[in-house]
Amino acid sequence: MLQDQEVHAAEFEHTFIAIKPDGVQRGLIAEIISRFERKGFKLVGIKILTPSKEFAQKHYHDLTERPFFNGLCEFLSSGPVIAMVWEGQGVISYGRKLIGATDPQKSEPGTIRGDLAVVVGRNIIHGSDGPETAKNEINLWFKPEELVNYTGNSEKWIYEAN
């Protein structure tokens, strides 16, 4: 029976997604969460916080040499951010597809940045760019006990049995 199939969590990966202060202030929290949720990905961690500038610098440590680094860290720490961990098969790379290209002028329509943002410095959302970054960013933003392990009610309708 399809309803009784087992979905094994072993293939599920995790990614770190943040709604930046512009996305929060523009009232886009539900819109953004909804896109990940409707796709079939599962929310396993969420909180709202205003990161310090030092914390923002840690988050963007690989961009320290870029000319926009200071402004970027000022901006990320300028107001509340929604920090999330999403789970699912392929969620790291597909999450990036849902988000769209870094510069909203180049993001495809249908993506979050393509539909909802206009300039690169106000592109409303962050998503981990690979497995290693995802692990590091989740560890930076969340304590293990802040993440929830559960079976989603529709998982057996989203995945095939394996």
Point out which residues bind ligand IDP (CB under 6 A). Answer: 63, 68, 72, 102, 120-121, 123, 126, 129
In the complex, what is the shortest distance from the CB of residue 129 to Mg ion, in angstroms, rounded to a whole number?
5
Nearer to Mg ion, 7 or 84 (CB): 84
What does 68 bind: ligand IDP, Mg ion, none (CB cut-off 5 to 8 Å by kind)? ligand IDP
Nearer to ligand IDP, 11 or 62 (CB): 62
CA 60 vs CA 38, 75, 125, 133, 158: distances in Å: 29, 12, 14, 11, 33
- Residue 55: count other Cβ atoms within 10 Å of its Cβ: 17
Please identify the residue of the shown chain whose CB is closest to the bound ligand IDP. Answer: 102
Structure tokens belonging to residue 18: 């943040």
| CA atoms within 13 A of residue 42's CA, in its CB half-sphere | 20
Q: Locate all alpha helices (DSSP H) within the chain, ordered by sequence.
A: 21-25, 29-39, 53-59, 69-76, 91-99, 112-116, 131-141, 155-158
Nearer to Mg ion, 136 or 158 (CB): 136
In the complex, what is the shortest distance from the CB of residue 81 to ligand IDP, in angstroms, rounded to a whole number?
12
- Residue 97: count other Cβ atoms within 10 Å of its Cβ: 15
Nearer to Mg ion, 129 or 155 (CB): 129
Amino acid in position 114: G
What does 157 bind: Mg ion, ligand IDP, none (CB cut-off 5 to 8 Å by kind)? none
In the complex, what is the shortest distance from the CB of residue 114 to ligand IDP, in angstroms, rounded to a whole number?
12
Contact characters 115-144, Mg ion, x per CB under 5 A = --------------x---------------
Backbone phi and psi for residue 5, each to the nearest 5 degrees, phi listed first: -65, 150
**Gap between the Cα atoms of 36 and 44, Å rounded:** 12
Report, as residue numbers or ranges, the catalytic residues: 126
Point out which residues bind Mg ion (CB under 5 A).
129
